[in-house]
Amino acid sequence: MLMPVKNKFTFLILSFFIVQFIVAQTAPEKLISGQVTSNNVSPLEGINITNTSNKIMVVSDRYGHFSILAKAQDILSFSAVNYEPLRKIINKQEFNMGIINADLTPKSIELNEVIVNKSSNISAENLGIIPKDQVKLTTAERRLQTAGDFKPVQLLGLLGGFLAVDPILNAISGRTKMLKKELTNERKEFLMQKLENLFEDKYYIETLKIPEDFIRGFQYYCVEDLDFARSLNDKNKTMSMFLIVGLAAEFKKNMENNEK
């Protein structure tokens, strides 16, 4: 039995959109570079750009530039307090070129009197500036993502007529290496802050017998230990207290050996 022409046409249209949807879902991701402007002239700094598919968020730099991991048909959400929100779909041409631009419209905001107190739960997410449940990047992580981390497999992009140049140039100039070191130092400082809030100086001096002048050095010694760093990140104070006793013994032994 032959299918009516009208139904056959409808079937072909539906099949086309289904195939396009499947291709879009399985398409590979790559770094897309772009610029955010206002009135197509002024570059905008500090604009939040979120890929609504993989929840990755980046922020535009002083020149309005940004780089974000995405694939064709992903939707980028642009948001800031003083500008109208914008949602932009990455079309096939923009994806192949690896470049996308967005122009935001300024908005005027009238705020009622706001009293901020210690119990206020004010954040960019609660204010609707950025969406919830997104991947939050630290300053060092954003800088490294924007610079790009070159991997040899990226050379396969030449087969598709596209090659991200920035990651290669940053790798050659040493900028990527510098940013990775900056990221490592940033993570250590975060651990140091957690450790400082965990124990008072009295605990180091009276319980662990660490000289007061060496407390800071001992803290850095502790965060270098992978197991201890993991316990801090997991907020496992019991494990941290167990491990720090052994680390204190090692630290004091090293001090004695250095004095000999």
CATH 2.60.40.10 fits 28-136, yes or no: no
- The domain spans of the chain are 28-136, 199-259
Contacts of 54 (CB under 8 A, 6+ apart): 29, 69, 70, 74, 135
Task: Give yes or no for a contact between 167 and 176, defined as CB atoms under 8 angstroms apart.
Answer: yes
pLDDT in tens, 215-224: 888 888 888 8
pTM flag (> 0.75)? no
pLDDT in tens, 150-192: 455 444 554 454 445 555 555 555 666 665 666 566 777 778 8
Alpha-carbon span 117 to 191, nearest angstrom: 28
pLDDT in tens, 106-155: 886 565 665 656 555 666 666 665 555 555 555 655 555 555 554 554 44
